Structure 1
Amino acid sequence: MSSDRDLPLTAQFDHGEDEGGQSGSGRWLISYADLITTLMVLFLALYAMQLARNNEFDVRRTAQRTIAPASAPMVTTPSIDRALLASLETLRQRGEITIVPAVHGVEIGINAQILFNSGDAMLLPESRDVLGRIADVLRVAPAGNILVEGHTDSTPISNAKYASNWELSSARAGAVVRYLVGRGIEPHRLAAIGRADNYPLVAGNDPANRALNRRVTLIVQR
């Protein structure tokens, strides 16, 4: 009598599947391999579509950069340095303000003694003339941003109102910003920041130098 041992290996393999009803032939591996291949092809197709979209976007952006200078007029922002110098020359000659070039515009420095009492951030009545004339110029100037910085001297302050020079300088910058907004400067152009005594204008701790370091600066960007 013949047995399974006398059958070829492939016959034994198929015979075992038929009798046991189990997937012993490994045909399920073929279906699994087909699924993996289909998924891989799908992912490759999606990747290729994404690359095509990126290339199309790059081509359009390059074309816009190339065409824009030839078809669109050149837009330039006029400098406000001359307008500031001409309109505020009287204040500068009296020593109430300074005007110096900045990295991206011009910097207007105002002596804090003109604006505030010592250790306070409430604007003095006499400050209205200086700030009002500056506001009139900035209101009609090109719409550049204006950074208002408060600076103190190195003498520490600690009272019920201001715990340190940080709070005092920040409050002074905020007071100037509020005044400028009240004079018609667009709020989105303005920002207030307190510098405390970290950026002295001059070195030294004598009364004259401390007075110079107490100031508010307006950095007017082009």
Structure 2
Amino acid sequence: MSRKREHEAEKENSERWLLTYSDLITLLMIFFVVLYSMSKVDAERFQAIAESLNKALGGGTPARIEMATSPVGPSLFQSGTPSSTTTVPGKGTDPSNTVNADQETDGENKYAGQGNTDAENMSIKGIKAKLDKFAADNGIQAKLVSSMEERGLVVSIQETLLFASGSAKIDLRAQEILQSISTVLASAPNQIRVEGHTDNLPIHTAQFPSNWELSVIRATNVVQILQHEGIAPGRLSAAGYGEYRPIASNDTSEGHDRNRRIDLIILRSKYDVTEPQQTPISAPLAPAMKATP
């Protein structure tokens, strides 16, 4: 009897490896299911969640998370490929004259796949083309410059096109320029932020105690012109940065000229989540009817 029991015990122990094997197969299956689910994240929802979390945690700017596209949809895993270059027409084959392919397409490919639709990219690209043509036709392409950034289209207007030095008054010629710009901007529903910038030369007058006031009032005056020309006020906002967001060195007069500017930012729609939401105003209550005796 004892030999029979020992034989049965040995038989049972020899099959215990199947439990370990089945557990391992189950874990592998769960691991690949998780990987598959991560590779099919909804890009727009994921970007919105990331930006909301960043804002809630005190981040100054929305989080930027690169999303790569694949045949099955957006993926968190981005494959690296060598950036292609192209030669600028009319500049020969000198390697110094080659530019990145992203620059040839005005940066559209650079910011694709980050929650931006093709329709919005085409709309912003069309606005840029119209403004560039307007600047070239009027010979002001050096003072009215548009560029693509991650946040949207930035239209930078130098001070001399809009204001006299140390002034926030918009003259007739400046109003005509802003009128033409507003006609182009009215075609898109995007939010528009007007930013005022100055150089680092101090100002201290009764109207403008510092560059802060000068930059803010200039931006506000531009907003009023855009609103007067038909852009919905709910799309507009104004900000003043004074001398603290330069784009060139303040050590030269050319740098001063570049830093004294008004920037019109046509924000991409994904940044709507960081803008204050409009709260509908409830209708006033009707007066209560007085009961007749």
**In the TM superposition, what is the alpha-carbon distance from 1:212 to its structure 2 partner?**
1.0
- 1:148 and 2:190 correspond: no
Q: Is the 8 A contact 1:114 1:124 kept in 2?
A: no
Q: Is the 8 A contact 1:146 1:219 kept in 2?
A: yes
Q: Is the 8 A contact 1:154 1:205 kept in 2?
A: no
Aligned to 1:211: 257
In proportion to residue count, which structure has more helix?
Answer: 1
Q: Secondary structure at the match of 1:109?
A: strand
Q: 1:192 aligns with which of 213, 234, 238?
A: 238
**In the TM superposition, what is the alpha-carbon distance from 1:82 to its structure 2 partner?**
2.3
Same amino acid, percent of matched pairs: 34
| Mapping 1:35-114, distance limit 5 Å | 76=117, 77-79=119-121, 80-93=123-136, 94=140, 95-114=142-161
**In the TM superposition, what is the alpha-carbon distance from 1:122 to its structure 2 partner?**
0.7
Aligned to 2:226: 180
Q: Aligned pair in 2 of structure 1 residues 102, 137: CA closer, same or farther (>3 Å)?
A: same
- CA RMSD in angstroms comes to 1.8
Q: Distance between the aligned counterparts of 2:185 and 2:134, measured in 1? A: 15
Q: Secondary structure at the match of 2:175?
A: helix
State the one-letter code of the partner of 2:148. Answer: P
Q: Deviations for 1:52-90, whole angstroms, at most 9, x for unmatched residues?
A: xxxxxxxxxxxxx9xxxxxxxxx9552233222331123
Q: Distance between the aligned counterparts of 1:85 and 1:103, measured in 2? A: 15
Q: Is the 8 A contact 1:91 1:130 kept in 2?
A: no
Structure 1 gaps, min length 5? 1-64, 66-74
Q: Distance between the aligned counterparts of 1:199 and 1:92, measured in 2? A: 24
Q: Distance between the aligned counterparts of 2:149 and 2:195, measured in 1? A: 14
**In the TM superposition, what is the alpha-carbon distance from 1:156 to its structure 2 partner?**
0.5
**In the TM superposition, what is the alpha-carbon distance from 1:185 to its structure 2 partner?**
0.5
Q: Is the 8 A contact 2:195 2:264 kept in 1?
A: yes
Q: Is the 8 A contact 1:173 1:192 kept in 2?
A: yes
Q: Is the 8 A contact 1:83 1:137 kept in 2?
A: no
State the one-letter code of the partner of 2:124. Answer: D
Higher-Rg member (1/2) = 1
Q: TM-score, normalised by structure 1?
A: 0.63
Higher relative contact order (CA 8 A, sep 6+): 1
Q: Deviations for 1:166-192, whole angstroms, at most 9, x for unmatched residues?
A: 000000000000000000111111110
